[in-house]
Structure 1
Amino acid sequence: MPTPNMISMAEDIEDLKAELAAMRGKVEALARSAAEATGRRTGGTEPGQPPEEEDGDGWRYPPFIFLLEGEELYAELRLLAEWVEGVLVPGCLGEPSAEARWCHLWTEHWDAVGALHALWLAWQELTDPAVCGYTGPSTWYRDHYRPCMAALRGPGGPFAGCTKGEHRVEHRLPGTVPSAWCTTQDDN
């Protein structure tokens, strides 16, 4: 025969289950709204379903810029340039100096493009309160912005050879190297 304590405990467990289900629904709704706002897919149409499979019309997650080609590459580069020139440069960068250089032709420094694209992807995620709360921008600044800018603008960075009057891109890359990443085949 169940005791009053056992009945009370069973009711508590059922209450906890209901609260957990309600909380799970809220989290999934927040994830869906964040995904809609950023254009990302996070899951199936029903709560608790695994993420949808890619249907061939685009990437499921933001692609890294080095993996893009053609129009996709140029479209992503345009979006990156809008963010760098519209947000990063006016809001975050101080005056360039010999110790902290910046090149206005930064798109010609492909290693800088890669670093800035990675910084932008982190910014997109970490400035969305629905995804990471209100501490995201602080995390972005500390863990992404400061190390990236130190590497880009420092004496060994890609802008080291650029001054206000001169632009120089060091071409240190080897010639064509066979790679698993290569998407075209030589017909030789």
Structure 2
Amino acid sequence: MTADTSTRPVRVRVCVVLVHDGRSFLIRRQRPAGLQLSLPDGPAEHGEDAPTAPRRELLEELGFDTAHLPAPPVLRFARDQETLRPGESAAFRCRHLLLAAHLPTGFHLAVAATEQDDPDQAPVIWVPAAAAACLRLSNEDPADRPEVRHEARRQALVAGCAETTGAVQNANR
């Protein structure tokens, strides 16, 4: 890429995986293009720190406050994206952070049954984490390399199920 991106701001997007009893939750939306499954995600707001952004996203989308968990969500995957979009002369820069949190017994009951910040009130479904790791989720960039995308989700959903500690996997390749 020839555009100078050294002074362009880097946007941050957070995505959160909640896991309980070997299952992860997904938001199930019916769209004109068909069924859409996604994890709660969204951009960090201006001035928002890393722990605050996922907490706010889960509060907005699922009415769930991670402040009540015995341990905060753990960063499981980070990826930097730099893309030159059609019609723009400067590259778009974004850092994607995927966090995972294990919900102890009873905490999963506090997750809303429907998406709270969408007029459709899409249902929240709980699926086996191993099965969720194999799905194509709607909040993934189709330009991502599939092996990196799958490995990130596999680590967060499968390895992150029983244990929410460990090193961050970085896919800045």
For this structure pair, what is the TM-score category when the shorter chain's length is used for normalisation?
Answer: under 0.3
Greater Cα radius of gyration, structure 1 or 2: 1
Q: Greater helix percent: which structure?
A: 1
Higher relative contact order (CA 8 A, sep 6+): 2
Q: Greater strand percent: which structure?
A: 2
